Amino acid sequence: MIKCPAAIACAAMMVAATLCSVIWGPPACAAAVSAHAPPLLRPVQPGCVTSPFGPRYLAAAPVAGRFHWGVDLRAPAGARVVAVAPGRIIRIDREGMGGLEVLVQHAGFRALYAHLGMVAPAIADGAKRLRAGQWIGRVGRTGLTLGTHLYFEIIENGTRVDPAPYLGVVPCGAGKSALVRPSNQ
């Protein structure tokens, strides 16, 4: 049994251990999983951050708010969005600033996948269970958005936390990310 200090880390270790054991066999990868594997799968590839978690000022869309509760991950329209860990779909809706959203209960945390253009056919047909890496939908431009991207949020014990460290993602650099800067207020 894996002992973990945090629920997200535990879920991530179990996913990494499963993937590793399928590829290399259980004994060969126990140390490699904890030392080298990213905690959760990335929901989009390459998945660099265009708008980070935290305070922000967005001149082009002040209605978006002064605090960003998740991360925006760069992805082209139509890119596949996958589950970061095994889970169960709680809801799918299309209201508000997130546009088409899927909320998933993973082991020890919830994740919100937003601004989708469509959900995967299996999910549209009522599938509720997800495997790590399973197709959830495609990136779109629904809701309030300045361009195509996936908004990804993690809620742990009722509190939103920065997903970037769990996903192993970094800022994209120049380009669209230059429109977003931390708020001084």
Asked if the model's pLDDT at residue 5 lies above 60, the reply is no
Give the mean model confidence (pLDDT) for residues 89-106.
93
Which strand (E) or helix (H) includes residue 22? Answer: helix 7-24
pLDDT confidence band for 86 (50 / 70 / 90):
very high
For CATH 2.70.70.10, the residue range(s) in the chain are 49-179
**What is the DSSP pairing of strand 149-156 with strand 159-161?**
antiparallel
pLDDT per position as a tens digit, 20-76:
333 333 333 333 333 434 589 999 998 899 988 888 776 665 556 677 889 999 999
**Top-level CATH class of 49-179?**
mainly beta
Condensed to tens digits (0 to 9), the pLDDT of residues 162-176 reads: 999 999 998 987 344
CB-based contacts of 185: which residues, under 8 Å, 6+ apart? 57, 66
Residue 144 has a pLDDT of 84
Concatenating the DSSP letter of every residue in 117-167 gives EEE-HHHHTT--EE-TT-EEEEE---SS-SSSEEEEEEEETTEEE--HHHH
Whether the per-residue pLDDT at 100 is higher than 70: the answer is: yes
Q: What would you report as the CA-atom Rg of the chain, rounded to the nearest whole angstrom?
A: 17
